[in-house]
A and B are shown apart, each in its own frame.
Chain A
Amino acid sequence: MKLLKFGMRFWITLTSVFSFLVGWAMLAHAPKPVQAAAAQPSSSVAPLPTLAPLQPLNFSSNGGGVQQQQFSIVQPSAPSFFSPRQVFNTGGS
C-alpha cells in the first residue's frame, strides 16, 4: 500500500514537472506578438479619413420661426441598377 502511494506521488510529480517544462519550451519558441506601432515604420500608417461636415437642411423659416416645407421638383427616376431582390410597390389601395 505504502509502495503504491509513493508510486502515485512520484508519477504525479514527474508528469507535472514534465508538463511544465514542455509548456515553457513551447512558449519560449513561439513567435513573439507584434507590437503594431513599433513593428511598422511610421510612414506606412494610414491616416484616418476626415469626415466632411454635414450639409445643413435648406429650410426657410416663416415669421413665427416655424420651419416651412419647400417643394422641389425632381425627375422621375431612371430604371434602378440595384441588384435584383425584393422590391415593394406602393401606390395606395
Chain B
Amino acid sequence: MQTLEFRVMSTNALIAAEGHDWATYGLRETRAYIEASERRFSRFLPDSELSQLNRAAGTWFTVSNDLMDMLEQSLDFYKETSGLFDPSVLPDLKRLGYDKSMDEIRTQGKVVNAPASARTLRQAQGGAPRPAFNEISLDLAGRRVHLPSGMEIDLGGIAKGWIVEKAAELLSTYAAVCAVSVGGDMVFKGYPMDGSDWRVNIEDPRDPTQTAAALHVGPGAVVTSSIAKRSWNQGGQSRHHLIDPRTGEPAQTDWLSVTVVAPQITTAEVYAKAWLIGGEEQAARLAAQRPEIAYFVIKSDGTLLGSQNSKEYLNDLSYI
C-alpha cells in the first residue's frame, strides 16, 4: 500500500491507496484537493469562502454547492443533537483565544484574556443572547445564505470530516482500496488486499505515544474528538476548543476523548463532539438516535468505556 503524509489544517494527514501508478497519481490529486478545501473553508484565512460568509452576516450571500451542503448538514445535526453541535460558537472561541490557527497558538504560547462569554455579556447588558444557529436561512434553489447579524460560524466541527469524505471519494476513483485520515478523522474504502480489516489505534489522550485500544474496522468512518489536543493556556486557565453551547465555555467533562465508528464521517464527527460535550448525562439519548454507530470513551482516570455495539470492533486481545 502506498502512503502519503503531509500537514494540513494544523494537523497531520495520512492518505493511503492500494495499487501502483494510478494510486500514486490519486494520492497527489487527493492531497491537492484537501489543501484546496482548507483554503476554501478555513476561518483563519480572510479570503476563504467561509470568512466571506461571516463578514456578510445580516445580508444574503451566494455560496458554493459544497458550502451549502455543509451548512444544510450542520443545520440538521444542530436539530438532531438538540444544539450540542453548534457551529455558531465562533464568537466564544475567539473570546477564549482561539482566534488564530492552532499552529500559530502553539508557536506563540499563551493568549490574552477576555473574561466573560459573549452570551453572558450581552445578557448582562440587557440585550438578547446571540442568535441561535437555527436562525440561519438557506435558499437552496438560489444557493444563498443569510446569517443573522452578529452570527459567525465555524465549520471546524464538520468541515474536516466533510473534506475527508470527498477526498476519499476522489481517491477511490484511482484506487478502490484506499484510506484518508486527517487529524485522526478517517474514511476507509474497500478492504485491504490481504482480506483483513483496517487497523486503527486509539491514542491514549493522557500520553499520545500510547495506544488505549486497537480496533479493526471495515469500510466506513472513524473519528475521535479530544479535549487534550487543541488546548491552550489563557490567563493561567487551561482552555480547549470544544465549546459547550449551553454555557459558551469549554465543556466541563471527565471524558478526555470520544472515538466514534460510523458509516458516515460527518455523523461520526458530529456525534463524537456531541458525546464529549454532553457527557454521560446525554450519552444514552444520543445513542438511541443513532443505533448504527459505536463509540469508545476514555475518561480522565484512563478508564476505557465502550457502547455495547463497540465490541465487534475491538481486537480480541482487548478482552484478555
Kindly specify which of B140-148, B166-174, B190-198 makes contact with the partner chain: B190-198
CA distance A90 to B304 in the complex (A): 15
Task: List B contacts of A71 (CB < 8 A).
Answer: 283, 297, 305-307
Q: In whole Å, how far is A84's beta carbon from the nearest beta carbon of chain B?
A: 10
Interface centre among A57, A67, A88, A92 (most CB of B within 10 A): A92
Partner among B3, B181, B211, B302 whose Cβ is within 8 Å of the Cβ of A77? B211
Q: In whole Å, how far is B58's beta carbon from the nearest beta carbon of chain A?
A: 32
0 or 1 for each of B197-241: is its CB under 8 Å from A? (1 = yes): 011111111001001111010000011111011100000000000
B56 adjacent to chain A (CB < 8 Å): no
Judge whether B11 and A93 touch: CB under 8 Å: yes
**Least CB separation from B291: chain A residue:** A67
Judge whether A85 and B192 touch: CB under 8 Å: yes
Task: List A contacts of B287 (CB < 8 A).
Answer: 67-69
Given the contacts A74-B319, A76-B212, A91 and B229 also touching, CB distance less than 8 Å: yes
- Indicate the size class of the contact surface on chain A: 20 to 34
CB interface residues, A 63-93, toward B, < 8 Å: 66-83, 85-93
Partner among B1, B201, B303 whose Cβ is within 8 Å of the Cβ of A90? B201
- Indicate the size class of the contact surface on chain B: 35 or more
CA distance A85 to B1 in the complex (A): 9
CA distance A87 to B1 in the complex (A): 11
CA distance A75 to B307 in the complex (A): 14
**Least CB separation from B210: chain A residue:** A76
Given the contacts A66-B288, A77-B213, A88 and B179 also touching, CB distance less than 8 Å: yes
Further 13 A-B residue pairs, CB within 8 A, beyond A90-B223, A91-B224 = A71-B307, A72-B306, A77-B211, A78-B317, A81-B317, A83-B196, A85-B199, A86-B1, A89-B211, A92-B225, A93-B10, A93-B11, A93-B183
Contacts A/B (CB < 8 Å), 20 sampled: A59-B308, A67-B291, A71-B297, A71-B307, A72-B305, A72-B306, A75-B304, A77-B213, A78-B317, A88-B184, A88-B198, A88-B201, A89-B211, A90-B200, A90-B223, A90-B259, A91-B202, A91-B224, A91-B229, A93-B230
> Which residues of A approach B to under 8 Å, CB–CB?
57-59, 66-83, 85-93
